[in-house]
Amino acid sequence: MSESQFRSTIIQLLVALEKSIKDSRDFMTAKFGANQAEIKNQLNEIQSKLEVLTTRVNEVEERVSDIEDKLIAKRETEEKRDKQLKDHEDRIREINDSLRKKNLRLIGVPEGAERARGPEYVFEQILAENFPNLGRETGIQIQEIERSPPLKSIKTVQHLDI
């Protein structure tokens, strides 16, 4: 092979190589361009789906916040209603207590007998003397003991109202 043939063969090979590289580059550019466009489309789809999901999450958060606010308001009104109910029950109890008559009247208890230890002690002593088993078995609780005002004569002994 002569030098000119060698050069022309090398040039042909280089031209073929250059064409092959150019074809490969064009193919890669076209392929990558298509892939890049597809990736951009997929990325846009993902972004739009993400925006939709973000919007839904925000809507749900707003709904939850509204429900929590309503729940707090209901709790406050319920607590207020419970407080009013308790106040009304207390008032009814007070009215019933003021209208309630005494259940027991002890007649003939000398005045001054309750001064030393109180009227409760006098009642417990009378109960123990007359009904020894009754005082131990039942837990009788005394709410209030007081002397009743004289009805007819100032000289008569005032009764103990229990």
Tokens standing for residue 137: 């078995």
Alpha carbon distance 57, 70 (integer Å): 20
What's the pLDDT at 125? 79
Q: What is the pLDDT of residues 88-128, one digit of tens each?
A: 998 888 787 666 666 666 666 666 666 667 777 777 777 77
Higher pLDDT, 109 or 153: 109
Higher pLDDT, 138 or 85: 85
What's the pLDDT at 145? 64
Q: What is the pLDDT of residues 40-63, one digit of tens each?
A: 999 999 999 999 999 999 999 999
Tokens standing for residue 57: 């999450």
∠90-94-96 over CA atoms, to 5°? Answer: 115
pTM: 0.41
pLDDT tier for residue 159 given thresholds of 50, 70 and 90: low
Q: What is the pLDDT of residues 8-40, one digit of tens each?
A: 898 999 999 999 999 888 888 888 888 888 899
Alpha carbon distance 148, 90 (integer Å): 27
Tell me the β-bridge partners of 105.
Answer: 161
Pairing of strands 105-106, 146-147: unpaired
What's the pLDDT at 119? 72
What's the pLDDT at 150? 58
**Does the structure show a pLDDT above 60 at 133?**
yes
Tokens standing for residue 78: 């319920």
Domain ranges of the chain: 1-75, 105-161
Contact 135, 120 (CB under 8 A): no
